Chains A and B, each alone.
Chain A
C-alpha cells in the first residue's frame, strides 16, 4: 500500500516539471537551482487510487548542508519506508553527479525508482546511457523521460509499483564516488563533439571580459524589448479599447446621470472639461481599470515574458557569478541577484525567493533592499507613464537614485549587522532553449497570478479612497502631515493621500499623483518617495511572515528614515 510518493533529486534536474506532468498542477520551474524553495503537494491517480505526491526542494545528498535540503530529508522520514515510493529524478546529461544521491537512497532502503530526465537534451549533447545495464547494476527500475514534452511519464507511472527496497551495503562518500566512476564507465558513452555555438556562448558568459560585455548587451536589450512590447500592447490593444470602446459607453451612461452624487463620485469620479479622463477622474470604473489594464498589465506581460525567457535559458546564474563581487560588498553573494530580479516583477515573490539564501542576515539585507530599492513592474509602469513625457532623463534619474540608495544601504547594512557573507557555491546550468509552449504556460501562470492579486485590491482600494475623500476623512491626515510633506519634500499637501495609498498599492498611488498638476520636480520626488517608502501591504505581510515581526519593524524604521533623508535631499540639494 503506497501512502505517499516523493520526488527527490539534485537541484535543477526538472523535478517540478515532472511533478506538473504527474499531477496536472502547474508549478513554477526555471533553469537555475533552487526555484522550488518549499515542498509542493499534489495528487496522482494510479488505477482508482489517489496518492499524495510531494515535490521536494533539490538536494545533492541525504546528509543535508542547507535548510532547503534539511526540509527534503526530514520529510522522507514521515512515513515508514514500505509505505512510500521515492522517485529519484536525475539529469541524464550529468549522470555522474546525480548518482551520489541515488546510491544513498538505495543504501538507506527507500523503495526507489529512477527517472532519467532530459533524455532528449542528453542525445543532443552526445550522451548515451545504457538504461538496461544501469537497471541491472542498480537493481531498481530506471525510466528515461523527457518531462517537458511528456515522453516516458506514462511508463514511469506504470512501473511505480516495481519500486522495492533492496539491500546494498552502506558506503562512505569517497567509496560511492569510486563506485559511481565504475558505473559511469559501464553505462555511459560520450560521443565526441566539436564545440557547438551553445557551448561557446556558455563559456563566454562566465569569462570576465566577454561575460560583462554579454551581460551589458543582454540587460540593455531586455530593457528595450520590455518597453517595446509594453508600448506595442498599449498602442495597439489597450488604448484603442479604452478610448474607442470604454470611454464612449461610460460617457453615454453619465449623460443619463442627472445627480452627480455619491455614487457618481465613486464610480466615475470627476469629469475633466465635461469628459472622462482616465488618468485623472479617479473613479472605480474609470481610472482604476485604466491603471491596471491600460498602464500596468501591458508591462507585466512584457516583463514576465523576458524574465521567464532568461530564467528558462539559464542565464541568471551566470549573471550571479559576474555580480558576486559587487553583491559581497552589500553583504550578499551573487545568487542574491535572482531574488532581486524577481523583485522587479513584484516584491512578494522576490522576498519569498530569498529563502534560497543561507543566513537570516542575508535574507534580511536582501528583503530590505528589495522592498526599498527595487520598484515592481506596476510601479515602474506608472513612473514611465508619469515621467516619460518629460523625457527619459527623469525616468533614468529615478532608477539612478534607487540604485544609489541600494548601494549605500547595502554597504551600511553589511557593516552594521554582525555576521559574515557566506561563500558562494553554485552549479551553473547549461543553456537550454525552452519550448514555446512551456514559456507560454509560465507566462500565463504569472499573469493570472498578477490579475488575481492586483485587480481586487486596486478596485477595492480606489473604492475606499473615493469614499474617504467624499466624506472628507483624509483632511485630518492631510493637515497633520502637511508640514512634512510641504516643507520637507516640497509637495502639495494633497500628495499625502498618494503616499498613504502607497501602502495599499503602488500603481494606484502614483495614479493619485496624476490629477494634482505637479511640476516635474514634484513628480520626480513623489515617484522616488513612493518607490522607497513603505512597501505595499502584500510585501509588508510577506516580510512579516518570512522574517518575523522584529525584522519588519527594523525594515520599516529604515524605510522611514531613508524616505525622509532622500525626500528632503532631493528637494533641497539635488533638484533645487
Chain B
C-alpha cells in the first residue's frame, strides 16, 4: 500500500481516498460531489503542465484543478 497524491497516480489506475488536505470549504465541496475519505476513485486523465485531473467517482466524472488534485491523498492498490 502506497500513499500518493492524486497527481502522482497514473491515469487509468484506481485508489482509495484516505485524506483530503486543504480547507474546510474545499473538503465540503468535494464531499458534496461524492469525494470523501474512504471513497474509491479512478483517475481517467491528467492534462499536462499543471492542468486539471479528471477522475471517475461513482458514476460522476469530475475535473479537479491541479491545486485541488494535489491535496487529495490516495492509497493505491
Contact = CB atoms under 8 A, between A and B. Distances in A.
A65 B32 contact: yes
Given A97-B34, A206-B44, A208-B45, A425 B68 contact: yes
A206, A325, A423: residue with the most chain B Cβ atoms closer than 10 Å: A423
Interface string B37-77: 10100001111111110100011111111011000000000
Interface in A329-364: 333-334
A57 to B, nearest CB: 14
A35 interface: no
Contacts of A127: 59
B68 A97 contact: no
A325 B51 contact: yes
Nearest to A174: B36
Given A94-B60, A425-B65, A425-B68, A203 B49 contact: no
Q: Is the interface of B mostly helix, strand, loop or mixed?
A: mixed
Given A97-B34, A206-B63, A322-B47, A423 B68 contact: yes
A203 B45 CA distance: 9
A270 to B, nearest CB: 56
A424 B65 contact: yes
Given A208-B48, A325-B47, A424 B33 contact: no
A206 B54 contact: yes
A211 B63 CA distance: 14
A317 interface: yes
Given A203-B44, A321-B52, A325-B47, A61 B32 contact: yes
A427 B11 CA distance: 18
A281 interface: no
A95 B58 CA distance: 10
A317 B54 CA distance: 12
B54 A96 contact: no
Nearest to B60: A97
Given A333-B65, A423-B65, A321 B58 contact: no
A384 B33 CA distance: 45
A425 B36 contact: no
A94 B59 contact: yes
Contacts of B21: none
Interface string A409-429: 000000000000001111111
A264 interface: no
Interface string A57-82: 00011010100000000000000000
Contacts of A39: none
The size class of the interface chain B forms with chain A is: 20 to 34
The size class of the interface chain A forms with chain B is: 35 or more
B29 interface: yes
A428 B54 contact: yes
Contact of A428 (B29, B58, B61): B61
A334 B66 CA distance: 12
A208 B45 CA distance: 7
Contacts of A203: 44-45
Contacts of B68: 423-425
A93 interface: yes
Nearest to A320: B63
Contact of A65 (B28, B52, B60, B65): B28
A275 interface: no
A211 B11 CA distance: 14
A412 B64 CA distance: 26
A324 B63 CA distance: 10
Contacts of A207: 11, 44-45
Contacts of B46: 208
A427 B60 contact: yes
B66 to A, nearest CB: 8
A424 B67 CA distance: 8
Contacts of B45: 203, 206-208, 211
A173 interface: yes
A177 interface: yes
Contact of A321 (B11, B32, B51): B51
Interface in B1-32: 11, 25-26, 28-32
9 contacts: A65-B32, A96-B58, A177-B34, A177-B36, A203-B44, A208-B45, A423-B64, A424-B65, A425-B63
Given A177-B34, A425-B30, 18 more contacts: A61-B32, A65-B25, A65-B29, A93-B59, A100-B34, A173-B31, A174-B37, A208-B48, A320-B63, A321-B52, A324-B51, A324-B65, A325-B50, A325-B51, A424-B64, A425-B26, A425-B63, A430-B61
Interface of B: 11, 25-26, 28-34, 36-37, 39, 44-52, 54, 58-65, 67-68
Please give me the 5 A-B residue pairs with the lowest Cβ-Cβ distance, nearest first: A424-B65, A60-B32, A423-B65, A61-B32, A428-B61
